[in-house]
């Protein structure tokens, strides 16, 4: 998939656990985990906004586009 989710990177930079982020953005651990692992098929703008507010970051810090065949390891 050409969209890379760097949520775990931002969480590590902010020293925030999945449990803490889940509480701050009012998402279940299961749904947040699906997003974090890149298995989500879609994300609502309201969810992205809540995550960005909680992590004090921009959407581009969390989501990245990579051409097919050029995915980072």
Contact 4, 66 (CB under 8 A): yes
Q: What distances in angstroms separate CA 29 from CA 5, 22, 33, one per listed residue?
A: 16, 6, 6
pLDDT at 35 over 80: yes
* Mean pLDDT for all residues in the chain: 92
Query: Residues 19-34: pLDDT tens digits?
Result: 999 999 999 999 999 9
- Please give the average per-residue pLDDT across 50-70, as a whole number: 91
pTM: 0.86
pLDDT at 73 over 70: no
The confidence score (pLDDT) of residue 5 equals: 95
For the chain, which residues make up each domain, given as ranges?
A: 3-65
pLDDT at 1 over 70: no
Say yes or no: domain 3-65 is CATH 1.10.260.40. yes
């Amino acid at each position: 998939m050409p969209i890379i989710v760097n949520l775990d990177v931002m969480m590590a930079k902010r020293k925030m656990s999945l449990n803490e982020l889940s509480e701050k953005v009012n998402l279940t651990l299961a749904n947040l985990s699906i997003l974090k692992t890149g298995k989500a098929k879609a994300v609502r703008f309201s969810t992205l906004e809540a995550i960005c507010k909680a992590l004090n970051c921009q959407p581009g810090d969390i989501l990245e586009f990579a051409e097919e065949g050029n995915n980072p390891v």
